[in-house]
A and B are shown apart, each in its own frame.
Chain A
Amino acid sequence: MSEKPESYEAAVERLEQIIDRLDSGQAGLRETLELCREGRELVTYCSAELDAVSEGLEELQLDELAARLEAAPSEG
């Protein structure tokens, strides 16, 4: 998994699949190591997503959001 996951839920879903597969004991050595690497990347991504909504609730008015978007038109 080198690509960024589509969303937090997609990442969590894939992570659950990986852990289920590993728990099944059916993965060979090469697959196990590959799944562990992918799993660690997903954990890092999910952790960053959670961090992004943990830094203090911000309240904006609609026009403040609009001003912010105008300042950074490439965003979104």
Chain B
Amino acid sequence: MELPGPFAVGRYAKTLRDELRKRARVQLIGEVTGLRHTQKQTYFELRDADGAVPCTIWANELAALDLPEGALRDGAEFVAGGGPDYFTGSATSSPAFSFRVTDLRLAGEGDLLARLEALRKQLRAEGLFELQRQLARPRLPKTIGVVTAESGAARRDLIAGLRRRGWAGTVVWAFAPVQDRRAAPAIAAAIQELAAAPAVEAIVVTRGGGSLADLWAFCDETLCRTVAMLRVPVISAVGHERDSTLIDDVAAVACSTPTHAAEAAVPLDCLAARGALTRSAAALQRVGEGAVEARSRHLVALARGPARALRRERATLNQKTREVRAASDRGLAERRAFQRRIASAVLARAARRAAGPEAQGRREALRRAEVAFRAHEPERTLERGYALAEDAAGEPVASAAAARGAGRVRLRFADGRVGARIDEDGSEG
């Protein structure tokens, strides 16, 4: 698509200037930077964290405003009234855009508070108020860092507060200017350097009271973002009123005085802690000794225990012995009856054979029957080298359990009896 033109640039510049001059006149607030004066005009920029606008004011108009001596300077917060303008330049001079200022005043408390409120809202929305508060704060740090003015009551008050707590660790000072907006970068640098030292467990940032303009460095957006992101807890004690500066919002703890900051930096009252520890030690000593006594009593009870336990065991054992003997007697009687039945049957069979028609045959049959019968007699077994255990009454002891119960037995061999004592109760392997 073909664009309109070409137009003569000078005429276009004038059109642009006229368009800009039609814009509504407004007030701007920001920090003065790059201030310079010429015979005809004064130039500066109004700046904040988001951007800047170049400003100009005619020297005679500035003089007519009758600002306090030295008030207009770099770093000061100002409110400028005016509108956009465009110097179109010429064949030999360069064009320039500027905000043509017709009214200029120091930012008042109200202006600063309004700006502060907007910034506070923004940082809160970004979650920056929570980060420091989530950090664990040691109750008994050995080293704390402090950012403050080298000369000032805050320094003295903080040390006094620490001493009252009975704390005598190491304080690392990072001195920085603490007055007005321009101090912010130096304060931020000091805090960062302290945070970089591994020994530093908490950082106190403190200065005495003043107007909001005096404390404005502690509302600096960059400084507050720096504090919010630190991994070391920062304790702020700036001014005397709570919540007046933005650093109070982003710090782990906000205190109203350096004395309170000392208590926040060392939460443990060392003197009280020493007392509590002594009491704990005494309680442990008492309980420990009591436990030893209790153990002694327990051991005495255990020492008495074996005799009782032995008596109990012996009674149980006797009962078992009686039961085992009764059982073995029953078994023995049954076995004898069985043997008698077998012998009778063998004899009967032999007798039937002996009653045969032939006498020789009968005798032979009888002899075989006798042999067969003798094979069933216990003596034959004994003759083969076996032994029979008997108790004192001559009754057979037919099981290991019965033998243990009897204690003493007699061993009947083919050629006689010998006494024997059962002296082990283990199972045979």
Contact = CB atoms under 8 A, between A and B. Distances in A.
Contact of A47 (B170, B200, B277): B277
Given A8-B138, A33-B288, A61-B172, A53 B167 contact: yes
Nearest to A9: B139
Given A8-B139, A19-B284, A46-B277, A57 B268 contact: no
Contacts of B170: 57-60
B405 interface: no
B140 interface: yes
B142 interface: yes
A18 B283 CA distance: 10
Nearest to B145: A62
A19 B145 CA distance: 35
Contacts of B280: 15, 19, 39, 43
Nearest to B281: A43
Contact of A65 (B163, B172, B175): B172
A43 B277 contact: yes
A1 interface: no
B197 A69 contact: yes
B168 A55 contact: yes
B283 to A, nearest CB: 5
B139 A60 contact: no
Nearest to B137: A9
A47 B274 CA distance: 8
Given A8-B268, A9-B139, A32-B291, A53 B284 contact: no
A23 B287 CA distance: 8
Contacts of B58: none
B111 to A, nearest CB: 35
Contact of B140 (A18, A36, A39, A53): A53
19 contacts: A8-B138, A8-B139, A8-B140, A19-B280, A22-B284, A22-B287, A32-B291, A35-B287, A39-B284, A52-B169, A57-B169, A58-B168, A58-B169, A61-B174, A62-B145, A62-B194, A65-B199, A76-B197, A76-B198
